């Protein structure tokens, strides 16, 4: 019986991800040591999916590299003003962004690709906000009635009695009221819209908006529903960082693009249950383009990078030994600039990077992921501008003291397989989405959350509403835990990397490790969510509500 899962309808044997990892020796490695390395994902163009005969797809090896200019998403324009519901007598900028199906050119040599977009493009337009100045967005669902991809009706919240096309927008990293946060059950169908109020009462940072509809987030985001949102403040301007055309948003995701130029989300071979535990594409889109180039001057640039992939952990580096100086992460600037290579970004993580092209005049520098090239910088052979002298100190970040924590919660990350080893679902602390809320921090209180990873993979865990600091990661004895449910540590706690030592909203939790974070639950009371940001995991129950209580 269990064999059925490894055999397709037409009788072909397929290799599951777990088998692939076992055969390639990757699994043993992943189990043997807790690591911050990316997901045990193929670095080569390897079809490790459950597919029998993969639809031929394009990759860097099969298509012309660096022939399209890197698109820079438009900045959204407000359509007018709206009375501020929370500050009578004042008004705020009002935006209207429509979700719709469009055709986009992903590459010079590909036919237009059917995708879903906010405001007509994917990535959607950039929303520019000032810290302390609220704005409102009407998110209008004008999508077609049929989904681009197969919906798995076994997944909670995506049952056959629910419409296939539903959407709700979440602003990742934002401190907003619960009714503007894009609660996964607040989805709505084509023809409807929802207005969100964004107070922007937080420090400057790169946030991003994306779909969050229960049980189909992976499909909606994969279709193209994401975009960047910047919060600016005076402090950052005073630092004199590269700005204007020298500040480049870079929104990265992996996709599978078939030879007809269409985006493919290969379903698992079970016709009735197309959910797959992870998705890895073999082509990376930068601002919606495959393998673009950017003409740059020999001077410093600032790159604002976000990984909007479903599952892929990116590992970024530059050719020609060019260095990245990282100045910020998820929730704004770090304390000080640091040189980092490679820059690892789990899904949803951001990196604020400075690259100094001033010694590179005339060169072509490639931005690479571990899986292959992403884009090319063409440095003009002009006389070099003076390199920007980055300040030694960027920002003061006071550590949250564990002794001030009102409570510590220990929460497991779990994975369940059927007898054949096929991964069926993942849970947080052994609880399903629909079970009563168990995490109820008090407004204004500080808490420590410890994520005990019992699975063989790393998970990027994200909390809505709050920013947090990483306290450390400590390896534990998994077998002992399984037997007695007690944590027996097998090594000291490891401090977060320097580029993870600022304010975060998403944290990588390696296997066999307890990852601890500390947060103050400030802002608003009400119901929010926390979840794994591997979208396949999130959709299949690795997400839980939590409630901030007054
Ligand atoms: Cu990036 Cu719950 O979100
Ligand atoms: Cu979020
Ligand atoms: Cu996960």
SS3 content of the chain, % helix, strand, coil (to 5): 10, 40, 50
Atom nearest to 538 CA in ligand 1 = 2
308-332: per-residue pLDDT in tens?
A: 999 999 999 999 888 999 999 999 9
- Whether 22 has a pLDDT exceeding 80, the answer reads no
CA distance 60 to 45: 9
pLDDT confidence of residue 418: 87
Ligand nearest to the CA of 347: 1
Q: Count of H helices and E strands in the chain?
A: 6, 31
Which atom of ligand 1 is nearest the CA belonging to 212? 2
Residue with tokens 């950052």: 236
The confidence band for 54, taking pLDDT boundaries of 50, 70 and 90, is low
- 530 CA distance to ligand 3 centroid (A)? 12
Average pLDDT value for residue range 449-469 = 98
Percentage of the residues of the chain whose pLDDT score is greater than 70: 89
Instruction: Give the position, in ligand 1's atom list, of the atom nearest the Cα of 173.
Output: 1
Q: Is pLDDT at 47 greater than 60 in this prediction?
A: no
pLDDT digits (tens, 9 = 90+) for 342-383: 999 999 999 999 999 999 999 999 999 999 999 999 999 988
Identify the pLDDT of residue 524: 98
Q: Ligand 1: which residues within 6 Å by Cβ?
A: 170, 172, 210, 212, 348, 462, 464, 529, 531, 533
Most confident of 20-24, 32-36, 498-502: 498-502
Q: Ligand 1 mean position to 162 CA, how many Å?
A: 22
Say how many Å lie between the CA of residue 318 and the centre of ligand 2.
29
When pLDDT is cut at 50, 70 and 90, the band that residue 514 belongs to is very high
Instruction: Give the pLDDT score at 240.
Output: 85
Mean pLDDT value across residues 191-202: 98
Residues 6+ apart with CB under 8 A from 424: 416, 417, 418
The per-residue pLDDT for 408 is: 98
Overall average pLDDT of the 288-313 stretch: 98
**Structure confidence at residue 250 (pLDDT):** 98
Residues that place a CB less than 5 A from ion ligand 2: 172, 464
Nearest CA to ligand 1 atom 1: 172
Q: Which long-range contacts (CB under 8 A, 24 or more apart) does 84-87 make?
A: 84/134, 85/197, 86/134, 86/197, 86/199, 87/134
Instruction: Give the integer Cα–Cα distance in Å for 269 and 9.
Output: 8
pLDDT at residue 37 tops 60: no
Rounded Cα distance between 230 and 228, Å, is: 7
Torsion of Cα atoms, 461 then 466 then 470 then 474, to 10°? -50
pLDDT for the residue numbered 1: 24
Question: Does the pLDDT of residue 30 top 60, yes or no?
Answer: no
Q: What is the pLDDT of the chain when averaged over all its residues?
A: 90
What whole-number distance in Å separates Cα of residue 354 and Cα of residue 369? 17
Q: Nearest ligand to the C-alpha of residue 311?
A: 3
What is the dihedral sign for C-alpha 462, 466, 470, 476?
negative
The whole-number pLDDT of residue 271 equals: 66
> Is the preceding omega at residue 543 within 30 degrees of 0, hence cis?
no
Beta bridge pairs of residue 425: 416
Q: How far is the CA of 388 from the centre of ligand 3 (A)?
A: 39
* pLDDT tens figures, 245-269: 999 999 999 999 999 999 999 887 7
Residue whose pair of structure tokens reads 């550590």 in the numeric block: 399
Gap from CA of 292 to ligand 1 centroid (Å): 27
Q: Token digits for 194?
A: 């929802």
Beta partners for 385? Answer: none
Read off the pLDDT band of 273 (50, 70, 90). confident
């Amino acid at each position: 019986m269990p064999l059925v899962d490894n055999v397709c309808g037409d009788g072909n044997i397929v290799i599951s991800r777990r088998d692939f990892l076992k055969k390639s020796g990757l699994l043993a490695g992943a189990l043997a040591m807790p690591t911050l390395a990316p997901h045990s994902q193929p670095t080569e163009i390897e079809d490790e999916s459950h597919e029998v005969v993969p639809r031929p797809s394009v990759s860097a090896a099969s298509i012309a590299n660096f022939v399209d200019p890197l698109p820079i998403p438009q900045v959204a324009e407000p359509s007018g003003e709206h009375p501020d519901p929370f500050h009578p007598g004042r008004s705020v900028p009002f935006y209207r962004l429509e979700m719709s199906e469009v055709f986009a050119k992903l590459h010079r040599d590909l036919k237009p690709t059917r995708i879903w977009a906010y405001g007509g493009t994917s990535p959607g337009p950039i929303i520019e906000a000032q810290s302390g100045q609220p704005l409102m967005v009407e998110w209008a669902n004008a999508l077609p009635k049929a989904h681009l991809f197969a919906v798995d009706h076994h997944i909670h919240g995506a049952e056959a009695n629910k419409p296939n096309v539903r959407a709700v927008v979440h602003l990742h990293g934002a401190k907003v009221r619960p009714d503007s946060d894009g609660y996964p059950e607040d989805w709505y169908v084509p023809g409807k819209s929802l207005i969100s109020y964004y107070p922007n009462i937080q420090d400057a940072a790169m946030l991003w908006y994306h779909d969050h509809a229960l049980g189909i987030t992976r499909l909606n985001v994969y279709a193209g529903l994401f975009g960047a949102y910047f919060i600016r403040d005076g402090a950052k301007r005073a630092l004199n960082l590269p700005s204007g055309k020298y500040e480049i948003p870079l929104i990265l995701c992996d996709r599978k693009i078939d030879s007809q130029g269409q985006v493919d989300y290969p379903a698992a071979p079970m016709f009735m249950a197309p959910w797959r535990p992870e998705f890895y594409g073999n082509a990376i889109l930068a601002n919606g383009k495959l393998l673009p180039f950017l003409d740059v001057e020999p001077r410093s640039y600032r790159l604002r990078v976000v990984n909007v992939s479903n599952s892929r952990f990116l590992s970024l580096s530059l050719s020609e030994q060019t260095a990245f100086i990282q100045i910020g992460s998820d929730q704004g600037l770090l304390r000080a600039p640091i040189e980092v290579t490679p820059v690892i970004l789990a899904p949803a993580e951001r990196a604020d990077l400075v690259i100094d092209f001033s010694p590179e005049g005339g060169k072509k520098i490639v931005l690479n992921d571990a899986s292959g090239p992403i884009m090319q910088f063409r440095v003009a052979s002009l006389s070099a501008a003076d390199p920007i002298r980055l300040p030694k100190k960027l920002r003061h970040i006071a550590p949250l003291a564990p002794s001030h924590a009102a409570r510590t919660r220990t929460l497991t990350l779990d994975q369940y397989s059927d007898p054949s080893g096929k991964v069926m679902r993942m849970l947080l602390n052994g609880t399903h989405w629909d079970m009563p809320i168990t995490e109820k921090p008090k407004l204004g209180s500080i808490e420590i959350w410890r994520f005990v990873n019992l699975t063989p993979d790393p998970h990027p865990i994200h909390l809505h509403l709050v920013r947090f600091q990483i306290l450390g990661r400590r390896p534990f004895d998994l077998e002992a835990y399984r037997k007695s449910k007690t944590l027996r540590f097998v090594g000291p706690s490891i401090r977060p990397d320097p580029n993870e030592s600022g304010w975060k909203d998403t944290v990588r939790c390696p296997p066999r490790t307890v990852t601890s974070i500390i947060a103050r639950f400030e802002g608003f009371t009400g119901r929010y969510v926390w979840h794994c940001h591997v979208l396949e995991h999130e959709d299949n129950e690795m997400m839980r509500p939590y409630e901030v209580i007054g």
